[in-house]
Structure 1
Amino acid sequence: MKQALNGKRVAILATNGFEESELSVPRAALQKEGVEVHVVSVDGKAIRAWAETDWGDTYEADTSLADANESNYHALVLPGGLFNPDELRLNEDALAFVKAFFQAGKPVAAICHAPWILINAELVKGRKMTSVPSVAQDLRNAGANWVDESVVVDSGLVTSRTPKDLDAFNAKLLEELQEGRHSGQHA
């Protein structure tokens, strides 16, 4: 698969309080396959992870949200955590960035609490999705068909529940990235 993914670029949108493994593990899996990965933070500055029960490492951002453009990337990853998606779902620029990937039919992968961002961007109605159980009712209320599975793919939208599902999440992310644009992925 490595050769098929060489030259691909993926954005990971995050801010302080992202679940560390939900950024570091997908980034490593993508890079292992030859994908160029850019961490996009709101202000382009370093962001600090949450590592299960306490603050984790600090990660350098590659670009700011203002300088990031969907057209420069083939897919988007949204790590969860509690603080990260709660802040991003209230950021209009972040919502616009996420919507642009859907409008372009590009794969988007969201794990844990990250579907909160998709809910606020009004992108979940009619979609089959999963998430951490505490977000299930929010997704149902927004019109999604929530299921309790390790990974769900719906026309380029990849969702998973928790860090325990990262192997399945990464496998489907790589598969969707290799497939490219999806006509069923829309805003």
Structure 2
Amino acid sequence: MRAVIVAAGPVEDIPSLTPFIEENTVVIAVDGGVATLVQQGLAFDLAIGDFDSLGYTPEGAVIHPAEKDETDLELALRHVSEQYEVTDVLIFGATGGRLDMTLQNVYLLKQFPAARLVTKREEVRFLQEGHDQIKADQYHYLSFIPLVPTRLTLRGVKYPLTDHDVPVGGSLTVSNEWTDHQLADVTVHTGEVIVLRSLSDVELPPPTLR
């Protein structure tokens, strides 16, 4: 089951949401994300937040106080993880505004590893120790940002690595690319990374995810 969560980030960073909403997808509006969904003519199953950025409270919303210890997005992610059996969570409207909020939203992926952030140009996910395969789809660049000192093996990419130590703050694993097979084999031997799939600098259609 998929969950689509729409937060209150700038609308210019949010693609058309219709291609991401499959059968049995639950759609959650987070505060000002209500306006984005309304603008795109889409319904939502639930609204969550303090609604300070929306200006009104939708009917049936889960209301939280403005002064609290978690962001509205974190509360929405927690609600989804507790109330639904989801295997895929796509988050929109979580980047492009205040830098502190964007960074925090990226770090939320560590707490909710089934979730991915999606913009018009990028998809962001969290990987911990283990093996994964990452498709290129329509993306061009593949980057790995270690959150802690990490050891990686990368195959199916232009710049492969074998059991290689990658420090925090280094740029070795930024802007890699897929080879002709369009499928990267990634092993995180130790550590944890943020993974970004990005479009090229050439203008391309908005992303769709498989």
Interval containing the TM-score (normalised by the shorter chain)? 0.3 to 0.5
Q: Which has the larger radius of gyration?
A: 2
In the superposition, the TM-score normalised over structure 1's length comes to 0.44
In the superposition, the TM-score normalised over structure 2's length comes to 0.41
